[in-house]
Every structure is written in structure tokens, then in C-alpha cells.
Amino acid sequence: MKSLLKFSPTQVKTALDDIFNNASNTLGKFSGQHPANTPYDLPVFNSIEQQSMAYSSMLESNAEYMRMMGGSGVFSTRQYTVDVAFDSTERPFGVNYAAIVSHNHANYRGMPGMGEFTAMLNGYYVRTQHNDYRIFGTVQGNYLARKEIMAPAIPDAVKAMPVGEGYGGTTPFAANTQMEYMKNVYTNDKANCVFFLSYLEAWWETYANDDVGNNTDSFRHSTDASSMREILEKAIYFNAGGHKNRLENIPFTPIMVRRISNTGVPVICVWR
């Protein structure tokens, strides 16, 4: 039987040794990058680089469109529309008992309640998990470091007042009681109030090690996934099934190629 091999095993081994042991060959062929501002030696890798650029351009075009439409701000929130779920004329983005599903957690110190919501930030889409964020402020000079902001001290004159009747009592919020003071502090004693602005901040961060990067301070909710791949798979699962994570612990943050280096390496980032 005539051999179909054009090269002997020795010739094949020599060629492979030359490819993987010669630094200049390796850089141009199989390292995943090429010399600056020159193409790959193998056309297949040039094609992959072009596909990465096309993918990045497609997503950026979508963001351009959303920015043109003024598409920044809260996009949708958890909805409570009743009995009109299948009426095509009654499908607003959000019908809630409170703006962006905000609610109270009076039993926790410094924790306003906020459910999940979706937003457009400069044309890019993000869905948060259930937030229930803590009132934390930034620590200057330390990346992502935060510290708790404490409530102002209660005036001694208020501490000296009787507490007042509890919920359901015969004289709730009676005058000159702590309960009455707390109920009307913003109206009657605004000087004793301290105001803080809470805001959603997002940024592109280099995608590395499939890290979830959960930057929230809530101790009630955390991302129910151990990797960005798992977040994506669960998001696809819930979207395909038409339902959601009951505890609202699956956010959605896009991953995309932000640029291509001059050596052909795609710089992949995740929206944090």
C-alpha cells in the first residue's frame, strides 16, 4: 500500500520544533498576537481579528442608536400591572408602587430598599440585581473602597421626650413625642436632616478570570453566580423561559470587545 504521507515523522517533528522553539515564528503564528501594525502570518488569525472588530462595531452601533434616541436613564423596573398583562395597550415600562421599586428597610441600619431595575447608561444596557444598597460613601484614593455614612445624632431634647404610642395605639404620633418628631422632622426641623444623593455608577473594566465583580454592599442580596459565564447562561435561561429569578439575584452586564491592540489582541471588557 502506497503511503499517503508526504513528510516523514522526522520531518514533521523538525518542523514543529522550529515553530514552537523559534520565538519569531511563535509570535507571528500561534501566540495570539502579531508584531505591531503588521498582519498575522496565517490568514485564519487575520479573519478572527476582523470578526472581533466587526463584533465590537455592531455593539457600538447599537449604543450610538440608543444615545441618538436619548436612551439613558431607568429603562424598566419590576411591574405590578394587574389584569392587563395580555392587553397590548397596557404595557408601559414600569407600573410600580414606588419609583424604581424603592422601599423601606427600617429594621436595618442605613439600608434603603430598592429592587432590581434595568437602565441605559450612555447607550449601554444593564440590569441590576435586587439592590437593597447600604448608605456608603467613597474613600478617596482607594479604588472601589467605601465606608458607611452614619445617621446624624438625635438631639438630646428629642431623646428626653416620651416615645409615644405605637402603631395601632389610641393616640398615635401624639404631640411632643419622639414618634411625632420623627414623623415630621423634614417639615418642622429640616436643619436636623442630612441629605445624601444615591446614584448608579457603571464603568468598563478589563475582563479577567471570569470574575463576577459584585461591588454591592448589601448583606441581603448577592449575585447568584460564581462567574460571568454563569450569569450569561442564567440570563439566557430566564429570558427564554419568560420568567425571572425570584429573589432577583441575577443581574445582566454586557461583555464586549472594546478595542483591538496594534498587535491584534482583542481587549475584552465587562460593564460593571
Q: Which residue has the higher pLDDT, 55 or 14?
A: 55
Rounded to whole angstroms, how far apart are CA atoms 266 and 272? Answer: 19
Rounded to whole angstroms, how far apart are CA atoms 5 and 11? Answer: 11
> Grid coordinates standing for 162?
416620651
- Each residue's pLDDT tens digit, 185-235: 888 888 888 888 877 778 888 887 777 777 677 788 888 888 888 888 888
Distant-in-sequence, close-in-space partners of 23: CB < 8 Å, separation ≥ 6? none
> Grid coordinates standing for 238?
430566564
Please tell me the total number of residues recorded for the chain in this structure. Answer: 272
Distant-in-sequence, close-in-space partners of 229: CB < 8 Å, separation ≥ 6? 210
* Domain-wise residue ranges, the chain: 24-149+201-272, 152-193
Paired with 138 in beta bridges are 146
pLDDT, residue 55, reads 80
- Each residue's pLDDT tens digit, 129-170: 888 888 888 888 887 788 888 888 888 988 888 887 655 555
Q: Is the pLDDT of residue 97 over 70?
A: no
What is the average pLDDT across 26-35? 68
Tell me the whole-structure pTM to 2 decimals.
0.65
pLDDT, residue 6, reads 60
Paired with 103 in beta bridges are 113
pLDDT, residue 166, reads 58
Question: Exposed, middle or buried: residue 131 (CB in 10 Å: 0-12, 13-18, 19+)?
Answer: buried
Phi and psi dihedrals of 255, rounded to 5? Answer: -120, 135
